Amino acid sequence: MYVLVAPCIQNPACRARGITTDEDLDCFSRAVERCRRFSIEMVPLPCPETIYLGADREPGSFLNRLATPEFAALLDRLEAEVRAAIRERGEPPIAIVGVDSSPACGVTATYRSSEKQPGRGAFLARFPDIPAVDVKEFSRYRVYLAGPLFTEAEQAYNLVLRDLLEAHLFDVYLPQEVGDTSHTRCREENGTIFARHLRALEETDIVVAVIDGADADSGTSWEMGYAYALGKKVVALRTDFRIAGHHELVNLMLEESAAVVTAKEDLPRALGSLLPASG
């Protein structure tokens, strides 16, 4: 299992002078950590801009720096090399992990001219057959799994969801695995558990919330609201066929603050999984 990656993710020195921010470096680091966590090999692409313009270069758009016959010929050669390497491996990559805004390796946006435009950069556009994801999206893989956890059935279902998400390369924080779950736990333990869950919510990228039942679990609802206030992505799972009204499955406030799916098999895609649905 491997991904092709823009080389600057592993070596930010490949980027043009002065454009790399602390946020960029954090995303690069978390993308590398995701690959380490799930044993995904990172195979760096060649950097056409570095080869053509040199490592210590001023920022620039495609049209003012790279729109030349020589650069097009370089892309021809590099594409052939990459495709030969893929054939030699005998299996396709999961995806290309690119860096948006890059004239060569942008995924959904690129500086073709002086203003950012939608679409792939000049090099990644050579591989329309390979899925591509921006490094910022790829680095968002830490999931907080919120849901009722008071019965054996609830805890077993949470484990099923955890295994499903980890099979799709998401790192899952499962609250039921933290602290004493008995009814006799002390007040001090309550505070410790609350603090750990709070820190996990603040550090996570995505909250997945189970909102089955006649009414959603109160703790889950609180976690969803807190995550929404922090600007986190929230995906709610509602498999219960009961509805609360003509336009709500369970609760207007919860549904308006989350993307709602109605089958656990739909969760990976809602979270941006790069693997097939059956993976």
Residue spans of the domains in the chain: they are: 2-138, 142-270
pLDDT of residue 185: 67
pLDDT of residue 183: 63
DSSP string of 216-257? --HHHHHHHHHHHHTT-EEEEE------SSSS-SS-HHHHHT
pLDDT of residue 72: 96
Helix (H, G, I), strand (E, B) or coil at 209: strand
CA dihedral 114, 118, 122, 126 (to 10 degrees): -170
pLDDT of residue 279: 44
pLDDT of residue 247: 64
Report the alpha-carbon distance of residue 116 to residue 261 in Å, rounded. Answer: 33
Report the alpha-carbon distance of residue 219 to residue 223 in Å, rounded. Answer: 6
Mean pLDDT per 10-residue segment, the chain (279 residues): 95 90 95 97 96 90 92 97 96 95 92 88 96 96 92 92 96 85 70 91 96 86 94 92 69 85 94 79
We find that the CATH architecture of domain 142-270 is 3-Layer(aba) Sandwich (3.40)
Question: In b/e form, how buried is each residue of 145-158, taking b as 16+ CB within 10 angstroms?
Answer: bbbbbeeeebbebb
pLDDT of residue 197: 92
pLDDT of residue 240: 81
- The predicted model scores a pTM of 0.86
